Amino acid sequence: MGVELVTSQLPKVFIARPPQGGIPDRLRAVAEVEVWPGDRPPSKAELIAHASSAEGLLTSVSDRVDLEVLNACQSLRVISNMAVGFDNFDIDEMTRRGIPAGNTPGVLTDATADITFALILATARRVLEANEALLNGEWTSWNASFMLGLELSGATLGIIGLGRIGLAVAKRAQAFSMRVLANSRTPRPYAGIENVSLDRLLRESDIVSLHVSLSEQTRHLIGKSEFELMKPDAILINTARGAVVDQGALAEALKSGTIGGAGLDVFDPEPVSLDDPIVTAPHVVLLPHIGSATVVTRTRMAEIAIDNLIAGLIGEPLPNCINPQVYGSR
């Protein structure tokens, strides 16, 4: 009598962006893995085509998982975002369908706070302008009024959103002997930080730094009327989400001299078009969304995102679940 061979088919996983460190063996042991090649993200049509039969999906902030994607990918049992933010997810619909969604909180706090302060220093001390002036041969001798900028010691930093990253930025500011104001949905008492209204923060701050998540309440939180409240030499820093700022209004505020400068690591949309008015606005430092771009942080983000993915595939609660109510409804 012949022996019947039974083969078990592993669940399929689609990874929309190659993670730092590659695909670990622990994921390949529990899933058939397909990884999107190249640097550009898949289009929505490409995402659907590759994830339509997948049970697990690993995304980045550039991959929008909305109702259209969810309807086309009926096999999904877990979705893991390699990011802290999840404004690219339709969380309500995922929860309604019982699909747990994961993110990577906490891991990028210091890296993002560092890049925030890099932007503060670069804009306040006109680092890129000075570098360009040197390369263009404009530095001919010492000049008492050449490339004057803002001295951080004694200046006021206004932080909008005093979560993990906002607080880490505040601590760095205190090391520079800066006065720190904060405006947050849930004020957190911390030595040396004064919690104030948004209007007061905008009026008194030399530098305003944004650290809120993107929601319908924070979309275009900072726009034309907010710029008009700020000092004419004030600097805006955004390492949160691009849509927290009205980007067109910011470009106009810079060109008109309503505010003095800006440092941006995020844009709306991303990547920013080279034809966007913000690119040619004066006194602006622009970075290509590198807030979490250290080897340590990106590697840890990938590890956490993959841990979330594996947990969902084997039927365990996600270590970092955005919508834990899905477990209570089962």
**Residues assigned a catalytic role:** 241, 270, 289
Q: What is the largest CA-CA distance in the chain?
A: 97
SS (H, E, C) 232-271: CCCEEEECCCHHHECHHHHHHHHHHCCCCEEEECCCCCCC
Signed CA dihedral, 45, 266, 107, 22: sign only: positive
Q: At what angle do helices 109-124 and 127-135 cross, to 10 degrees?
A: 60
Neighbours of 286 (CB within 10 A): 16
Which neighbouring-strand residues pair with 222? 245
Which neighbouring-strand residues pair with 181? 158, 194
CA distances from 212 to 104, 182, 202, 215, 272 (A): 16, 12, 15, 9, 20
Helix, strand, or coil (residue 193): strand
